Amino acid sequence: MAERADVVFVDGVRTPFGRAGEKGMYWGTRADDLVVKAITGLLERNPSLPKDRVDDVAIAATTQQGDQGLTLGRTAAILAGLPMSVPGFAIDRMCAGAMTAVTTTGAGIGFGQYDVVIAGGVEHMGRHPMGLDADPNPRFLTEGLVAGDALNMGNTAERLHDRFPELTKERSDRFGMRSQQKVQAAYEAGHLQPDLVPVAIRSEQGWGLATEDEGRRPGTTMEGLAQLKTPFRPHGRVSAGNASPLTDGATAAILANAKTAKELGLSVKMRMVSFGFAGVEPEVMGIGPIPSTERALKNAGLTIEDIGLFELNEAFAVQVLSFLDHFGIDDEDPRVNPWGGAIAIGHPLAASGVRLMIQLARQFELHPEVRYGLTAMCVGLGQGGSVIWENPHHKHYGKGR
């Protein structure tokens, strides 16, 4: 019988994230080509991994259609040059797609059924807007199960402002501005670029190379944010300045059994400690990471005080702020998104979970004094997802609590 194994995050990369739409840098690029580029870049960075040792490939996408459909994990594996013997599958948990790809395959490693897997996600929101051609069951409305506008994420964010009046527009705007500033500082320090895989892009001007995230606005000011429209509600509080933009991009990561990683000479950047997913009312889906984090902490036998670094997906500033308030964490706490987040970088839905992990792994290298870190995100239709990781650079790594 297979024994339980330690699950480690070996490495992760991503494409630069681009603005969705005709003016975005990936408008002329296929979605599957984006994730294939991430996988091939990942394999090139880890030459000691024999391609035939990959046991499965899990790739997430929210809108699984066209060039973003057709069992992406399998098609991407073939296109990335993995042997035909390597299987693959697709996953959809909306924004937590890549996170679920990691936890699902990671659980398979922990159960002793996989040694090495590739997990990631892609979202080409320019070609495949969220919910395109979806046909929600009429019972949602006729039986009053979900509010009619609960599928609009902006409306759910406005409701968080309603529910928690202390979450003001000024706090959200300031959080958004700080995200832009922190991402720019991380770029200037060279922290983000090492994990970006350049992508050849084609436009009317000819061929080019995508090397940086396209949606950054480092010159953001509070005065400028105050002037932005609130498209989801007249005199609302959610604007383009305190929400993540529509984004195209892909991510990919290698996970392994710790013993296999040692056998193959692979790096170990993090160890998976626990994870949790939880459901909440779809109308306020942004609070989802609160119960999912509580579940992950319980599963790990830890408390929020044990977490030394947080990578929280900034779908909306108000969503992160509700999490921070619940756990008694200050808006400016340096443990939270030290290099900024999705408000500046972008949020290509199903790809974002691994982007959080990539940044946490880099943070662990810089902070050996931190033992545990958290990646967490809200999920459409009223869910949250959280994963707790251990820092291999910490002096007590692998020694129990």
Q: Which residues are catalytic?
A: 95, 347, 378
Residue 88 to residue 21: CA distance in whole angstroms:
29
- Dihedral of the alpha carbons of 301, 303, 307, 312, in degrees to the nearest 10: 100
DSSP-derived 3-state class of residue 139: helix
Tell me the sheet residues that pair with 254. 11, 118
- Write the single-letter amino acid at 362: R
Helix 317-326 × helix 153-163 angle, to 10°? 40
Q: Alpha carbon of 266 to those of 44, 45, 393: distances in Å? A: 13, 10, 15
Number of helices (H), then strands (E), in the chain: 12, 12
Cβ neighbours of residue 354 under 8 Å, at least 6 residues apart?
A: 12, 14, 98, 99, 101, 102, 119, 120, 121, 251, 252, 253
Under DSSP, the state recorded for 266 is -
Pairing of strands 88-91, 56-60: parallel
Cα 193 versus chain centre, distance: 17
Amino acid at 180: Q
CB-facing half-sphere around the CA of 307: CA atoms within 13 A: 34
Q: How far apart are CA 347 and CA 99, in angstroms?
A: 13
Tokens representing residue 50 in the block: 């024999």
Strand partners for 122: 250
